[in-house]
């Protein structure tokens, strides 16, 4: 009986140590004052594995298996929102998953100077927002964008 209780105590202690270790990997952050910032663009319809790969390639995600495992178990693998995200080197897995699930992405402000022609605007949009200039030009020239944003505008 004493041997069984000793084995159970050792197993319980090992399980507790493992839980603490996983918790430290999940919640632990090491963001220094000069932490590298990495911007990642997630396209609509991207899978969590695509995001995970980008984070690993950029040296931001140190524990990809934990990231994937927790995301699948919590259902966050299905809540990844498209957008531009900024991640910091040393950021915790918990914060990364929260940022992706809550759509805490970066907003890009775009200022079009007065008098710009449509081709110049398309070039600016491509540089600043990473939208194909030809596709933007075709949509804008056809009136689709203007018609959706303001009723009665964009029809010729």
Q: How many CB atoms lie within 10 A of CB 136?
A: 19
Residue 156 has pLDDT above 50, yes or no: no
CA dihedral (126, 44, 60, 100) in degrees, to 10, reads 120
Residue showing tokens 């009136």: 143
Kindly report, residue by residue over 132-154, the tens digit of the pLDDT. Answer: 778 878 887 775 554 444 444 44
* Encoded tokens for 17: 């140590």
- Average pLDDT taken over every residue of the chain: 77
Lowest pLDDT segment from 31-40, 62-71, 85-94, 112-121: 31-40
CA 42 to chain centre: 6
- pLDDT tens-digit profile of 8-24? 888 888 887 777 766 66
In this structure, are residues 155 and 143 in contact, taking their beta carbons and an 8 Å threshold?
A: yes
Q: What is the pTM of this model?
A: 0.56
Q: Please determine, for residue 25, whether its predicted confidence score (pLDDT) is greater than 60.
A: yes
Specify the 3-state DSSP secondary structure of 79.
Answer: coil
Average pLDDT over residues 103-128: 80
């Amino acid at each position: 009986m004493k041997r069984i209780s000793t084995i159970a105590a050792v197993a319980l202690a090992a399980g507790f140590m493992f839980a603490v270790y996983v918790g430290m990997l999940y919640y632990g952050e090491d963001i220094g004052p000069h932490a590298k910032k990495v911007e990642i663009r997630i396209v609509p319809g991207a899978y969590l594995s695509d995001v995970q790969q980008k984070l690993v390639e950029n040296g931001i995600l140190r524990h990809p298996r934990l990231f994937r495992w927790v995301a699948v178990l919590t259902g966050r693998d299905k809540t990844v929102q498209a957008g531009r995200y900024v991640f910091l080197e040393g950021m915790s897995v918990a914060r990364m998953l929260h940022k992706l699930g809550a759509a805490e992405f970066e907003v890009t402000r775009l200022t079009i100077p007065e008098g710009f022609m449509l081709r110049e605007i398309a070039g600016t949009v491509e540089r600043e927002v990473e939208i194909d200039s030809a596709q933007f030009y075709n949509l804008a020239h056809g009136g689709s964008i203007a018609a959706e944003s303001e009723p009665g505008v964009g029809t010729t």
